[in-house]
Amino acid sequence: MRNTAVLLVVCPDRKGLVAAIADFLYRHNANILHADQHQDREAGLFLMRVEWDLEGFDLGLHRFEAAFAPIAEAHRMQWHLALSSVRPRLAIFVSRHDHCLADLLYRWHAGELYCDIPLIVSNHPDTHWLAEAYRVPFQHIPVSKDTKPEAEAQQQALLERHRVDFVVLARYMQVLSPEFIRRWERRIINIHHSFLPAFHGAKPYQRAFERGVKLIGATSHYVTEVLDDGPIIEQDVTRISHRDDLEDLVQKGADLEKVVLSRAVKWHIDNRILVYGNKTVVFD
């Protein structure tokens, strides 16, 4: 893992933005490793991700905000600074389906996901064995319509105790409350088993099968208060035929879900995603 810093910027589009950021970094002896930008013409916005080597960078990061503030204010920038050396802390929420959980744990164990996983939370005990296999603490918190507020209070307490940075819903089949979502805005990633906006909500494979679709998909997105309507991070599809029954759709879809979710989680960890409005830009 390189010792680098990543700056994400979104602001009104105008001339000179790349030069202003590059000149600031050059004046502090930064060696830029990657720089990518995007202009949304309809929204009139400029979005940028720039990563630089911290070796020789003469501006201590504790002084970065004060030093960068005049540029940010002059160009009305919203910005975020992250360090590649910092391992974010991820909590995974899961129900009975274990394929996405298993894939995330394997990729984490193999070093593909540069993060810590201090906690797995489930409303069913079925995946406890998987957490034990990877030596990750597992917390079973049953959820019903009547106990949801108490269950979410327990979940919040656990997330705070374990100093969690973001949450992944790995086929967690519960709708989170608006209060919970607001507390973790843009820090909850979900996998939905359809190609959104088609077949949102419950039983998407059943509805896709009944509709006779020729493609099924999976979508990973940030969670908002509107069900399955948050900013989309990643999607993928696979072709099916009239010979496939409902069980075939579920099996083929599970493979998509794993890949789509793991990509989204990795991009979030690597600080490659900029959210604006209800859209995202994912930088290469």
Q: Which residues are catalytic?
A: 228
**Is residue 238 within 8 Å of 190, Cβ to Cβ?**
no
Read off the tokens for 93: 């929420």
Tell me, what amino acid is at 136?
V
Distances in Å between the alpha carbon of 247 and those of 127, 171, 208, 241, 243? 21, 17, 12, 13, 11
Read off the tokens for 262: 């793991």
Residues 6+ apart with CB under 8 A from 153: none
DSSP 16-62: THHHHHHHHHHHTT-EEEEEEEEEETTTTEEEEEEEEE-TT--S-GG
Residues 6+ apart with CB under 8 A from 178: 225
Half-sphere exposure of 16 (CA within 13 A, CB side): 6
